[in-house]
């Protein structure tokens, strides 16, 4: 892992109408009317873009934006937030950056990885008139209250099982939580040592910056009502899932596809929760080409 694995972005803090502030990280094209790709990274994250994504965005002429979710990387916590609440803050940031106005010619794509997946879907639901393409990778499905929802998750479901019991149980879990090394496949470990080292580096940076509250609030949001209607999404949705994913097992993609019957589903063989991102660069190229 090297310093080149994370792109050194142009970062800024934006104060929201609530009075809280969020970190906005931009990369790629500096042209305000360029197609805009909004990234929703996983749990935990700081919002920094892996170099491979930032470099491809620049090559494709895409403006890349990520908004750090509340409670991560020293941002203010938003207690009790839903998935839709966090996505609404991203919409507010776009308004602040003059990227919400329908009179502007730019178009919006959005990507969600892991815990960012539900937030990307929420973002597309909140902006059905603007978001044209959605790509989600290793995304959990909405929680249905069943024990089957947790089936196949490494570490007995990590923080999600206690989150389903409530805030107190989830916060108590955080004090003793340990990462299960069996969460990653051989393909994941190779990805973290190579092309996707920036994903691991950013997760470590998030822990160093004290992202416990963000992680807790993400998990609580995932097992609560997400707060938006999937039927409002008008964009093309592409679901990418690794068959061997041990963090978000493949049955979650099947559940999502039933809820999004028009989505394009892609099951990656001999992959894993991190290695599934190998499909992201080609999706970016194809999705940007479809905008023209």
* Complete DSSP assignment for 2-19: -GGGB---EEEEEE-TTS
CA 87 to chain centroid: 10
The per-residue pLDDT for 93 is 94
62 touches 34 (CB < 8 A): yes
Give the CATH number for residue 178.
Answer: 3.40.50.1820
Is pLDDT at 261 greater than 60 in this prediction? yes
- Enter the tokens of residue 124: 């597309």
Per-residue pLDDT reduced to its tens digit, 93-148: 998 887 655 445 568 999 999 999 999 999 999 999 999 999 999 999 999 999 99
pLDDT above 70: residue 57: yes
- Write out the residue range of the structural domain in which residue 225 sits: 3-291
Lowest mean pLDDT among 7-11, 27-31, 220-224, 281-285: 7-11
Number of domains composing the chain? 1
Q: Report whether 29 contacts 62 (CB < 8 A).
A: yes
Contacts of 181 (CB under 8 A, 6+ apart): none
pLDDT digit string (tens) for 178-206?
A: 888 899 999 999 999 999 999 999 999 99
């Amino acid at each position: 892992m090297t310093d080149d694995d994370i792109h050194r972005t142009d970062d800024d803090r934006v104060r929201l109408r609530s009075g809280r502030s969020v970190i906005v990280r931009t990369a790629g094209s500096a042209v305000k009317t360029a197609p805009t790709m909004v990234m929703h990274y996983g749990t935990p994250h700081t919002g920094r873009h892996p170099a491979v994504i930032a470099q491809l965005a620049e090559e494709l002429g895409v403006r890349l934006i990520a908004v750090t979710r509340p409670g991560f990387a020293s941002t203010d916590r938003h207690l009790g937030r839903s998935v839709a609440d966090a996505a609404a803050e991203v919409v507010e940031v776009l308004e602040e950056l003059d990227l919400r106005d329908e009179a502007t010619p730019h178009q919006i794509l959005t990507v969600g990885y892991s815990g960012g997946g539900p937030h990307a879907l929420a973002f597309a639901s909140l902006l059905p008139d603007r978001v044209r393409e959605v790509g989600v990778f290793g995304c959990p499905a909405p929680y249905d209250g069943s024990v089957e929802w947790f089936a196949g998750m490494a570490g007995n479901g990590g923080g999600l099982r206690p989150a389903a019991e409530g805030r107190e149980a989830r916060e108590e879990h955080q004090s003793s939580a340990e990462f299960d090394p069996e969460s990653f496949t051989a393909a994941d470990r190779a990805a973290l040592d190579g092309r996707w080292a920036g994903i691991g580096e950013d997760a470590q940076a998030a822990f160093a910056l004290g992202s416990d509250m963000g992680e807790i609030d993400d998990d609580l949001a995932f097992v609560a009502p997400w707060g938006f209607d999937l039927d409002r999404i008008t964009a093309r949705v592409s679901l990418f899932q690794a068959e061997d994913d041990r963090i978000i097992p493949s049955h979650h993609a099947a559940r999502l596809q039933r809820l999004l019957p028009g989505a394009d589903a892609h099951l990656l063989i001999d992959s894993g929760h991190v290695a599934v991102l190998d499909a992201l660069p080609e999706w970016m190229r194809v999705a940007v080409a479809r905008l023209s």
